[in-house]
Amino acid sequence: MEHQHNRRNKAGTASLLIIIILLAFFLWGWPNYKVYAKELSGKAELKEAEWNRQIAIQEAIAQKEAAKLKAEAEVIRAGGIAEANTIIGESITESYLKYRFIEGLNDGNTEVIYVPTEANLPILEARG
């Protein structure tokens, strides 16, 4: 009987010792785990911020390139318009302009305004 009692005492002592060790490990380990978890979280946030920065830089570079290409397209378009205006300006004769003026008058949709000048020469303006 004493042998069983000794066994129970040893088992109880061993259980108590295990509980104390687990409690000590928990009390020591839990704060360390929290620090470790916060450190990992901080590293993850830093990595995410770096990725977001890289994405923002790439988007800015793409917008800059798009703006340059749009500006080049506008310059090319303006050059084409200027060239077309030069061709039209060189090819239109005074008689063609008079013809178009008379055509406009015959349309009935044109309004002619006579503006007197100091030299007593009228300036004609046709709106249609």
**123 φ/ψ angles, rounded to the nearest 5 degrees:** -105, 125
The whole model's pTM is what? 0.45
Give mean pLDDT, residues 48-74: 97
- DSSP result, 15-58: HHHHHHHHHHHHHHHHHHHHHHHHHHHHHHHHHHHHHHHHHHHH
Give mean pLDDT, residues 20-49: 88
pLDDT-based confidence at residue 9 (cuts at 50, 70, 90): confident
Residue 122 has pLDDT above 80, yes or no: no
Q: What is the pLDDT of residue 125?
A: 57
